[in-house]
Chains A and B, each alone.
Chain A
Amino acid sequence: MSTVEVSPAEPRSDEASRPVINDFSIQVATVNGSGSQTANTVLMRSIFQMGIPVSGKNMFPSNIAGLPTWFTIRASKHGYIGRKKEVDFLVAMNPETAREDVMSLDSGAAVVYDEPLKLNALRSDLHFYPVPFDKLVAPVCPEAKLRKLVRNMIYDGVVANLLSIDMQEIRKALVKQFGKKKAKAAELNWGAAQAGYDYAAKTFTKRDPFRVERMNETAGKIIIDGNSASALGCLFAGVTVVTWYPITPSSSLVETLIAYMKRFRIDPETGKASFAVVQAEDELASIGMAIGAGWAGARSMTATAGPGISLMAEFIGLGYYAEIPAVIFDVERVGPSTGLPTRTAQGDLLSCALLSHGDTKHPMFFPCSPEECFTMAQDAFNLAERFQTPVFVMTDLDLGMNNWMSDPFPYPTTPIDRGKVLSAEDLEKLGGFARYRDVDGDGVGYRTIPGTRHPAAAYFTRGSGHNDRAGYSEREDDYMNNMDRLALKFETMRTHVPPPVAEYNDRARIGLIAVGTSHHAVEESRDQLRNEYEIETSYLRPKAYPFNAELVEFIRRHDRVYVVDQNRDAQLLGLMRLELEPEDIARLRSLRYYGGLPLDARTVTDEVIRQEGK
């Protein structure tokens, strides 16, 4: 039996003695369409099943097959689930990118690669493990057609061996992945994984320091992507009308919702649906349908991304003025359609907050995790109906399409809030109503829905040219009164949206503010700042817009406040500027990242340090 010696030419002498346990990232570089998704998911799951906090991020091209993709799995005993910039363990399967992938590794990293690529010649400071994938796959997969797919499972076995991942966990994850119906496929893949494991066991001498050890940090947890979590939120929010037009990264939100609705929202007795889903002809129509449905009393929603938001602008403005509930999920992504549509960003904050023409502003929710996608979806429907207005749920590609570890979701504890809707009996008692009159002092009028069996129920809906009885008016005072009431309504929302999460540190001179997925990088960065630079920080994470009063309080308690943005033009900071006093604005600093990848802690830390002049 031969042992291939492929360790670095000059390994750092202390390396073997300093194992790195449960704190590294694995990157698998493949070609999209090659079926690597299964192998990657199984690998991630098996680490999760060993009780180790884990996260997975897929970086994929806007293309169906043949372009490079990278899947990164991070194991973190500290529970960090943001992206880690440095790759510790590379699985290089893509000849196109292998060279660059290897060259960008830090010294001491490990590389599993397809033997013919001869990557070991590139550098002498890495640990190389060449694997003859084609030779190994042939005996375990007699059917040549399937080899391309099964081949990837081999690296799961190799990596399991090198990182001490329990093969039984790989098996369990495989069974879970394929389900009972595809037991044969699971067996085939299991054979491949075993072949990889056995090859590694008899061939390699472990030189790199990375490995896993069982922990107990994932018991009871689930793995889910943000879009599925949002879909579940809509399901339990009691959504009834769903309209959409496919666009990455939002499509899977609606597709998952449809699947759940078909399972759980068909009346078992009649076989009839308690929901309608329409794949519209475009986003002009999808939002129009959502608005029409909201007007007529449905809980309606649509899901889209930036290009769709642009098309929806006019209708959402009408929704604001005519005061119609609808929920819009914006799964943000980079730039225009021919930008980087499969990369993540938080670039629609300003456009959504102020979408449309005239004086419009809209509430937004900023979930940072699947659990918040679930709960905020429900909050969004309640807010939309309570305040009779379009509401945005701002997620992004990183949250929406990547797999996250999460606590199981809590069953809703409060009833669905349908807002101020008058029934025929109410109208009988009242004798009539004024649609846009502020009866309760919160800026929100009472509405009726079509089909209400009463001669006084009807009103005529149009934009802003109306008096408080919904009668046509172009009078200056009617218009201004209406606009002022809409402004009051927006102010009222400040105390109705979920409050921010604030972590004050008495010794901190500086604060950080972030929303959505920036949270994970900021959390880890605060530890880096403390551990590496002895800088204490406070942290405020607004969960919604309009911002709550605590924003100002937080800013005033710190000398400098870094506002984290995943866009070029500091949109989150810009939104704050719109309403803060000059002396508060003066304390704000901008910390931006806009490269299209999920924000990582190191980028935040380095930028704080740079601006702090340390």
Chain B
Amino acid sequence: MSTTVTPPPKKVNRIGLEILNYKGLKTTLCAGCGHNAISERIVECFYELGIEPYHVAKFSGIGCSSKSPAYFLGQSHGFNAVHGRMPAVASGAILANHHILGLGVTGDGDTASIGIGQFMHQVRRNVPMIYVIEDNGVYGLTKGQFSATADLGSKLKTGVLNDLPPFDCCALALKWGATFVARSFSGDKKQLQALLKAAIVHKGLSVIDVVSPCVTFNDHEGSTKSYSYMKDHEEPLHEVDFVPSYEDITVEIPEGEVREVVLHDGSRLRIRKLDRDYDPTQKISALAALEEAEAKGEVLTGVLYVAPEKPTFIELLNLMDEPLATLPESKVRPSKEVLDLVMEELR
């Protein structure tokens, strides 16, 4: 006797793809590494937003964090570049084809130490892309040396104390003119998802610094980037929800409780006030909040700043709509008449 079992209908997103289409290879990072959680959130966000994987290109530098793009979005092109220079590669690729959605994933060593210069200039140019810093305060891949985001007085596993002050990538990005700055924690699933989605739809460069503990080299007592430290010191600025542009807003928003920031494509960030009334469109208050939190030893998370309409580098360059990469010869090689004219001028 045989029974036919109808398989349950496969779950698909709004463009008909399964979550499998967004997954990558099995991770080779340590179990419990914060970077793995971030990879999972990336998979969910792109799936839930219904973005075509071929539309995305992943970029990274060198480090455990920079290896992670192999572990998500397997149907997207990826480029594991050189240490600290992911921004340059991403810029070049985005100039070649500004229709691709650039997703940069880097570490605190990759961005705040060797790559601080490129980070700075990427922000300054507002190159349209997502810039995720998986911040664990150490160099994971070279086995646990301090990076430039390590807090003053934090301790390595070997007992060595950090005697230099940290770079705060969010505060620096704000100073350099970033148009989207957020901080999150790899353990805060809901917040990280909302922030990543907002970063994906933001028109310009979106910086998200995600505290992402390194379980192997920086998760001990005395570390300021450990799970337990974050549990005690994370201070969410607000509760954030992301409402994509293609979803109707049905819920009434109670006056005074919630702020809305409308992003370039019509998506919204709904920000529910917690202890304070924080306006993420004000750069000065963002900088002040970061300074205050640092003084109090708190790690502020949430959307620090967003300027949805600032022109991107692509707009400044006045590029054609068609990707430069695929322009036909007729569009890139001037005619014989042009050469004749130039030759005449040189006679």
Contacts and interface: CB of A to CB of B under 8 A. Distances in A.
Partners in one complex: yes
Interface string A314-325: 110010001000
Contact residues on A (Cβ < 8 Å of other chain), bracket: 35 or more
A293 B88 CA distance: 9
Contacts, number: 223
Contacts of B318: 271-273
B325 A455 contact: no
A232 B338 CA distance: 11
A198 interface: no
A501 interface: no
A300 B92 contact: yes
Nearest to A277: B317
Interface stretch (A60-68, A147-155, A457-465): A457-465
A223 interface: yes
A265 interface: yes
A450 interface: yes
A224 interface: yes
Interface in B315-347: 317-321, 323-327, 329, 331-334, 336, 338-339, 342-343, 346-347
B343 A408 contact: yes
Contacts of A408: 343, 346-347
Interface string A278-310: 101110111111111111111110000000000
A300 B96 contact: yes
Nearest to A292: B92
Contacts of B334: 235-236, 264-265
Nearest to A408: B343
A458 B92 contact: no
B121 to A, nearest CB: 4
A416 B333 contact: yes
B333 A298 contact: no
B339 to A, nearest CB: 5
Given A222-B343, A455-B53, A289 B321 contact: no
Interface string B20-55: 010001000000000000000000000000001111
Nearest to A224: B346
Nearest to A452: B54
A404 B323 CA distance: 37
B74 to A, nearest CB: 7
Contact of B95 (A232, A281, A289, A457): A289
A232 B341 CA distance: 12
A609 B123 CA distance: 61
Contact of B78 (A235, A265, A409, A458): A458
A412 to B, nearest CB: 7
A579 to B, nearest CB: 29
A241 B96 contact: yes
Nearest to A322: B79
A219 to B, nearest CB: 10
Given A241-B96, A296-B100, A458-B78, A274 B321 contact: no
A181 B81 CA distance: 49
Contact of A412 (B25, B87, B118, B333): B333
Interface string A575-591: 00000000000000000
Interface in A584-614: none
A472 interface: yes
B136 to A, nearest CB: 22
A105 to B, nearest CB: 33
B16 interface: no
B114 to A, nearest CB: 10
Interface in A226-258: 232, 235-241, 243
Contacts of B91: 278, 285, 288-289, 292
Contacts of B79: 292, 295, 322, 460-462
A274 B321 CA distance: 9
Given A265-B332, A273-B320, A288-B81, A450 B88 contact: no
A296 to B, nearest CB: 4
Nearest to A281: B121
Contacts of A239: 332
Nearest to A297: B325
Contacts of A457: 54, 75, 77
A415 interface: yes
A274 B317 CA distance: 10
Interface in A499-549: none
Contacts of A277: 317
Contact of A289 (B57, B92, B320, B324): B92
A278 B314 CA distance: 11
Contact of A451 (B25, B54, B59, B70): B54
B141 interface: no
Given A267-B320, A450-B97, A292 B90 contact: yes
A38 B329 CA distance: 38
Contacts of B117: 281-282, 284-285
Given A236-B334, A451-B100, A458-B76, A285 B85 contact: yes
B99 interface: yes
Contacts of A282: 117
A552 interface: no
Interface in A538-570: none
Contact of B327 (A243, A274, A458): A274
A280 B87 CA distance: 11
A274 B331 contact: yes
B129 to A, nearest CB: 11
A449 interface: yes
B82 interface: yes
Nearest to B118: A285
B154 interface: no
B161 interface: no
Contacts of B258: none
A222 B346 contact: yes
Interface in A129-148: none
Contacts of B53: 455, 458
A409 to B, nearest CB: 7
Nearest to A459: B77
Contacts of A260: 342
Contacts of B336: 411
A319 to B, nearest CB: 10
Nearest to A49: B347
**Residue with the greatest number of chain B CB neighbours at <10 A, chosen from A292, A409, A455:** A292
Contact of B97 (A274, A278, A296, A314): A296
Given A265-B332, A284-B85, A293 B93 contact: yes
Nearest to A228: B346
B89 interface: yes
B111 interface: no
A222 B347 contact: yes
Interface string A360-404: 000000000000000000000000000000000000000000000
A99 to B, nearest CB: 38
A103 interface: no
A238 B319 CA distance: 15
Nearest to A220: B347
Contacts of A292: 59, 79, 81, 88-96
Interface of A: 220-224, 232, 235-241, 243, 260, 264-265, 267, 270-278, 280-282, 284-300, 314-315, 318, 322, 408-409, 411-412, 415-416, 448-455, 457-463, 472
Given A295-B93, A318-B82, 17 more contacts: A224-B346, A238-B333, A240-B96, A241-B95, A267-B331, A274-B327, A288-B92, A292-B88, A292-B96, A295-B96, A296-B325, A315-B88, A450-B57, A450-B93, A451-B54, A453-B52, A458-B53
Q: Name the 3 nearest CB pairs between A and B, nearest first.
A: A288-B88, A292-B92, A297-B325
15 contacts: A222-B343, A237-B333, A238-B332, A240-B332, A282-B117, A284-B85, A292-B90, A292-B91, A292-B92, A292-B94, A408-B346, A449-B326, A450-B54, A458-B78, A472-B25
Interface of B: 21, 25, 52-55, 57, 59, 69-70, 74-82, 85, 87-97, 99-100, 117-118, 120-121, 317-321, 323-327, 329, 331-334, 336, 338-339, 342-343, 346-347
